Amino acid sequence: MKRAPQDQSTWTKKLKMMVADWVRRAWRFLKKKWHRYQLTRWLIIVFLSLFLMASIYLTFVAKTADVKNLQSRLEKPTMIYDRNHNSAGSLYSQKGTYVKLDRISQNVPDAVLSTEDRNFYHEHGFSVKGIMRAGLLLVKNKIMHRNYISGGGSTLTQQLVKNAFLTQQQTFSRKAKEIFIAVEVENQYSKKDILTMYLNNAYFGNGVWGVQDAAKRYFNSDASELTVPQAATLAGMLTSPGTYDPVAHPEACKQRRNVVLQLMVDNHKLSQAAAKRYQKEPLTINNGYHASGTYRYPYYFDAVISEAIQDYGLTEKEIMNDGYKIYTSLDQGQQKAMQKTYHDDDNFPQSTGSMVQSASLAMNPKTGGVTAVVGGRGKHVFRGYNRSTQMRRQPGSTMKPIAVYAPALEHGYYYDSYLQDEKQSYGTNHYTPHNYNNQYSGSVPMYKALYESLNAPAVWLLNKIGVNEGYAMAQKFGLPVQKGDKNLALALGGMTKGVSPEQLARAYSAFAADGQLPTSHFITSIKDATGHTIKRKSRLTNKQVISKKNANTMTSMMIGVYKHGTGKSAKPIGYTLAGKTGTTDTGIKNDQTNRDQWIVGYTPDVVVATWEGYDNKQNQQTNIQENNINSLFKAEMGSLLPHTAGTKFKVEDAQEKAQKGTKSGNDFWTDAGDFANQVRQGAGSLGQKAKRLWDGISSLFQ
């Protein structure tokens, strides 16, 4: 049943009385407790404590913001120097041509201050009115569920601080930091200095920073010659360079210019009559700006930035804008030669679809310093994909010297030890390596197996010395082998992750440097704008990974790669190289195309590792071994080696040494001692040991 209207009214009145009574009781209780526990006092204490803590924190932020060095950082670009401490180029993302205030037309400060901060000379870094306006905007945006401050409130000094120290994110915490750092800037610098820094650090669109370059970009003029309407145009762009871009949006730019001219009238910097006259002038753009070509070695500079971030703890913004001096291992002659080779498309196979890619890296084997690098072909992208340092591909036969022949020498084999060269299956999975030409000689000396890149002898030898030995040696040489790589396929470069040209160049440096493995690096030292040296997180060290004797024996064998073997067509005229070639196949039965091609070549002065292939691993190259990459490498080394000291190897080609009848380096008594060890270990060619032992005994009676 529905209630009568009178009953409903009575019920509503009773409910209101009950609620009112409950509210009165609650209020009396709260009031009693509030007075009893002095909650007002506690709230004030809590508020003041929080305010004090925030002030201490923000003061700390301001004091540690390196305000003292702001001017020197903004005046100077970050410079990169080569190995001889000669300038190689500069880095800057927010710097243009820095000019002093007396080289800037007075029309520019008049227009900028009239638009951005009329009270610039009468405030100490921040504006109370501006803060209140920003606070109201923050409250409004919070109500509308927007977690940012929608503009307003920033003085010229605050804008400088935002560009130099902080992000562009519009939040309350950033705004608070901005104010405190702005006060610190005002304490450290004069108004003239602050205005100069601002005008040189402001962004004017189209990749142009600073008023001097902006004057060139839009009016083909120097900053000192800017007219009133030109200055008003630039000042108007500061609010939104994209919106008021005179090139893309000339009409919007002109309207904004006219607004600025009126603001100059309001600020008593221009008469009304002059403003009207200037407002009628057309907007004329004349581009005379030429971007500085100081990023001349893009892949090298990219790698320098990445290393400074990773090993020195700097940020990209700091590196690009804070005027550091970065000293590197760069050899400008080698770098130019390498880049020239890569710019010549005739050095690469023609693409039927995707571009054939390639990457190359040169390293000083004694120090590990990278002297030259190219990370790819085609258009360079700032800090994009650098194949020389970031790519990982299976190394193919370039792994044989590291995982097979070097550990074999360490375990008593000789450069002329005979290895079994037969088609053979191993293990329960019947792993069966094939020589590239499917021909087998029964036995072959080690040096020949290496320079002809025969697969069967390499796998046989790794099986003899033990996969664990090859795996351990690859680890010692700094290659990123995984537990799953502990199998005989490691002899032919079978790896889970693969290697980069940088890692391979570093590994081969041990052969060129008497068995010492260096730490690869681009940077030798960094100094900030004040001359203070930035400390590297970890030291650069060299460690002995194989004996000097065996390193030289490996070099002796690998000289044959370029004299008689798979790298013969890659040898530049007039130079002796050691190294190794390598390919990886597609894994398709009866398919003789290559997925990746590698070649490493070195002298006592430089190690160069080069890769060629496709970014998409499913693509494949149709040319095998000696074709594509050998011609590229020959051109590359032919132009790069003249920029080295030309140091000669102290060892001769292993094959020539064997043909002369030179002994392997161990005398009869050493062979006799080794014989027993080889019997116990079951590793090595016992037939050869027996023959040497017999020859030694026979020689005693001759």
Give the residue numbers annotated as catalytic, written as ranges: 116, 397
Q: Residues of 500-525 as b/e, b for ≥16 C-beta within 10 angstroms?
A: bbbbbbbbbbbbbbbbbbbebbbbbe
Q: Label residue 699 exposed, middle or buried (CB < 10 Å: 0-12, 13-18, 19+).
A: exposed
Q: Which residue has the tokens 């800057």?
A: 92
Closest residue by Cα to residue 613 from 635, 634, 583: 583
Identify whether the C-beta of residue 360 lies closer than 8 Å to the C-beta of residue 388.
yes
Nearest-5° angle of CA 697, CA 701, CA 702?
A: 110
CA-CA distance, 51 to 655, in Å (whole number)? 81
Q: Residues of 637-654 as b/e, b for ≥16 C-beta within 10 angstroms?
A: bbbbbebbeeeebebebb
Chain CA centroid to CA 618, Å: 27
CA-CA distance, 155 to 131, in Å (whole number)? 10
Closest residue by Cα to residue 557 from 455, 416, 461, 397: 416
CA-CA distance, 231 to 226, in Å (whole number)? 6
Q: Label residue 203 exposed, middle or buried (CB < 10 Å: 0-12, 13-18, 19+).
A: middle
Question: Residue 488 belongs to what H/E stretch?
Answer: none
First to last CA, the chain: 135
Q: Which two tokens stand for residue 690?
A: 């027996």
Identify whether the C-beta of residue 417 lies closer than 8 Å to the C-beta of residue 409.
no
Q: Widest CA span of the chain, in angstroms?
A: 141
CA-CA distance, 562 to 575, in Å (whole number)? 10
**Which whole-number Å values give the CA distances from 657 to 62, 428, 577, 660, 664, in the listed order?**
70, 40, 16, 5, 9
Q: Label residue 344 exposed, middle or buried (CB < 10 Å: 0-12, 13-18, 19+).
A: exposed
Amino acid at 429: N
CA-CA distance, 308 to 278, in Å (whole number)? 49
For residue 474, the SS3 value is: helix
Q: Label residue 11 exposed, middle or buried (CB < 10 Å: 0-12, 13-18, 19+).
A: exposed
Q: How many CB atoms lie within 10 A of CB 200?
A: 25
CA-CA distance, 20 to 171, in Å (whole number)? 42
CA-CA distance, 361 to 314, in Å (whole number)? 24
**Which whole-number Å values give the CA distances from 390 to 361, 445, 497, 538, 541, in the listed order?**
12, 37, 12, 20, 22
